[in-house]
Structure 1
Amino acid sequence: MPDQENPPAGGAAARCAGIGDEAAQDLEGQLGALRALGWHSIELRSIGGTALADLTPQQVHVLADRLRRAGVRAVCLDSRIGNWARPVTTPFDTDLAELDALLAQCELLGCRYVRVMSYPNDGLPPGEWEATVLRRLARLARRAEAAGVTLLHENCAGWAGDDAARMLRLLNEVDSPALRLLFDTGNGVAHGYDAAALLHDILPHVAHVHVKDARRTPHGAAYVLPGDGEARVTDCLRTLLDAGYRGAFSLEPHLAVQPHAGLRADTDAAHLFVAAGQRLAHLLTRLQQPAPAPGAP
């Protein structure tokens, strides 16, 4: 497994992070949820309902100062590049501008990961869709590499979102140390594939992990506490730990917040986030306990 720069070590709390806006829209609420869990790592997606790349430089300086004073580090910045709202026909300049903004933020925040996806199709022939995705991500990765930042492709929306062979082809074609994979435990339930099986195929290339769980319903995915659904979260965590994964386990519970569905944090979001975080920490603690010696009572 790849080593993350300055990877977390120690107990479950040291391995855990959370996507802050799943707990609250405002930064103080996001930090409060982390404090309640005893965590010191955050994944940033939006502040006050504003996407990171749309923050002003002054707002980013305030954010960086507040994180420093709280003793919290940013482990990943979540972009909108290639996501469910930006199909392959989106002007590429939009994504280049977003990446440039986030690369500047990475420098200020001491963060080295930016989450991306691989562009849902929007009427292009399959071959043209593939070629456009590969060309765009190669350009983005070169730009990130020059800044010392790594792009993390998530198993979510886009050309390589649910297909291990395509993910591996993407990595091979782009051929850059600045492109790795982000594995989300729960996306398979939402998108109709076996994420635990996919993990086995991409395992050596996983540099960051999102944790969520869900059950399938006639109306789509119903999100639940980690371990209570059909995503085989415990199996995925065990697979990662057994393989020597050293990065963060970043909570994205979707219990109150689902950006793709237009659901934002409400008064219950922090409570649900903390409950999901406690469950994640419990699962990790249990998995990291040494096995009993043979013959032990």
Structure 2
Amino acid sequence: MRIGYSTWGMREVPIEEALPAISRIGYHGVELSVAPGWITELYTLDAAKRERIRELLAEHNLVLAGVIRNVSMVEEDPDRNAANMQSLRDAIDLAAELTQAGEVSVMTSHLGGRSGDWETKRDIAVERLLRLADYAAERGVVIAVEIHCGSMLDSPERVHWLFERVDHPSVRLNFDISHMEVVGIGIDESVPQLAPYSVHTHVKDQRGLYPDFEFLTPGEGPFDFVRYLKAMQAAGYDGFITAEVSVHVQRRADYDPFFHAQLAYWTLYKAFQVAGIEPGKPS
């Protein structure tokens, strides 16, 4: 397993500053946020900017762990759905373009919708995800669908249902365990069920239970990262453990993205040490 950082936590930091800092801190890889509103939003990245990102990744010895787009796959309005699906295809193209040789090319997004939409929209999600998966497969990309509290895909049972019907090698899970913790599903229950589906992860800390909860930076809360890493290793997961700094944290008046990136790294690095797992080495 390797330690990654998502530029989700560096919404306004120029990529020329972000990638060198992420490397200096010690991260092995980076998930590039190309979500709407971020400085590296997908449609701001022209050919020159994409080439510069490739150069910076190589210069600073960073693996592209993935790209994250996060738009709904179950939009009802035909025009908005067409735009959403095109943006996901374009994000898949970007992942294929930027991922280094020998690495898994990953594009992450949530399904969208609300928890209460599950019964009425789950078949739509399957249909659209399968079409998107065929597109991804042609480009050597894996779609990582994120489990997310409050969204359609918000429980292990729903993940099982989805993967029974979307039995496609280019669709896997982005396992963000914080979204399970805040609904009362702990490590011992979530990891054995969800790690086998997973191609990528997000980790945060957290306090409280949904809907009265708060996401925190790793190291600010009570989450047992040592037990989590041991459980992920036991479940056979060997990908990136990627720190994601939540918008909950970014809203703070004194938010410093570099401090929180450092805090997350050292929290994870120490947890790897205590767990007896060498980060960057195969499990």
**TM > 0.5 fold call:** yes
Closer, same or farther in 2 for the Cα pair 1:76/1:101, shift >3 Å?
Answer: same
Residue of structure 2 in register with 1:269 after alignment: 257
Confirm whether residue 34 of structure 1 aligns to residue 58 of structure 2.
Answer: no
Contact 1:17–1:42, Cα closer than 8 Å, also in 2: yes
Question: What pairs up with 1:136-175 in 2 under 5 angstroms?
Answer: 136-156=128-148, 160-175=152-167
Describe the SS at the equivalent of 1:156. coil
Letter in 1 for 2:177: T
Confirm whether residue 101 of structure 1 aligns to residue 93 of structure 2.
Answer: no
Q: Tell me by how many angstroms 1:152 deviates.
A: 0.7
Question: What pairs up with 1:206-217 in 2 under 5 angstroms?
Answer: 206-216=198-208
Closer, same or farther in 2 for the Cα pair 1:246/1:226, shift >3 Å?
Answer: same
Paired with 1:278 and 1:103, the residues of 2 have a C-alpha distance of 31
Residue of structure 2 in register with 1:250 after alignment: 242
Confirm whether residue 282 of structure 1 aligns to residue 273 of structure 2.
Answer: no
Confirm whether residue 181 of structure 1 aligns to residue 168 of structure 2.
Answer: no
Q: Tell me by how many angstroms 1:164 deviates.
A: 1.1
Paired with 2:243 and 2:57, the residues of 1 have a C-alpha distance of 18
| Partner deviation per Cα, 1:59-88 (whole Å, 9 max, x = no partner) | 222222222222222111001232xxx763
Paired with 1:202 and 1:182, the residues of 2 have a C-alpha distance of 9
Q: Tell me by how many angstroms 1:174 deviates.
A: 1.4
Contact 1:114–1:152, Cα closer than 8 Å, also in 2: yes
Residue of structure 2 in register with 1:61 after alignment: 51
Paired with 1:133 and 1:218, the residues of 2 have a C-alpha distance of 24
Contact 2:111–2:153, Cα closer than 8 Å, also in 1: yes
Report how many residues are paired.
Answer: 268
Contact 1:256–1:265, Cα closer than 8 Å, also in 2: no
Paired with 1:87 and 1:61, the residues of 2 have a C-alpha distance of 33
Closer, same or farther in 2 for the Cα pair 1:163/1:59, shift >3 Å?
Answer: same
Paired with 2:165 and 2:261, the residues of 1 have a C-alpha distance of 38
Confirm whether residue 120 of structure 1 aligns to residue 113 of structure 2.
Answer: yes
Closer, same or farther in 2 for the Cα pair 1:54/1:274, shift >3 Å?
Answer: same
Question: What pairs up with 1:66-81 in 2 under 5 angstroms?
Answer: 66-81=56-71
| Partner deviation per Cα, 1:239-287 (whole Å, 9 max, x = no partner) | 10122321011111327755xxxx4997612112211211111101211
Paired with 1:172 and 1:122, the residues of 2 have a C-alpha distance of 19
Contact 1:118–1:153, Cα closer than 8 Å, also in 2: yes
Q: Tell me by how many angstroms 1:168 deviates.
A: 1.5
Contact 1:185–1:236, Cα closer than 8 Å, also in 2: no
Q: Tell me by how many angstroms 1:104 deviates.
A: 2.2
Residue of structure 1 in register with 2:3 after alignment: 16
Report sequence identity in percent: 22
Closer, same or farther in 2 for the Cα pair 1:225/1:93, shift >3 Å?
Answer: closer
| Partner deviation per Cα, 1:114-143 (whole Å, 9 max, x = no partner) | 11212214986x543111111111111111
Paired with 2:201 and 2:153, the residues of 1 have a C-alpha distance of 15
Paired with 1:138 and 1:33, the residues of 2 have a C-alpha distance of 37
Closer, same or farther in 2 for the Cα pair 1:40/1:161, shift >3 Å?
Answer: same
Letter in 1 for 2:241: F
Q: Could you list the runs of 5+ residues in structure 2 that have no partner in the other structure?
A: 279-283
Q: TM-score, normalised by structure 1?
A: 0.78
Closer, same or farther in 2 for the Cα pair 1:289/1:171, shift >3 Å?
Answer: closer
Closer, same or farther in 2 for the Cα pair 1:144/1:98, shift >3 Å?
Answer: same
Paired with 1:159 and 1:175, the residues of 2 have a C-alpha distance of 21
Give the CA RMSD over aligned residues.
Answer: 3.0
Contact 1:234–1:283, Cα closer than 8 Å, also in 2: yes
Confirm whether residue 92 of structure 1 aligns to residue 81 of structure 2.
Answer: yes
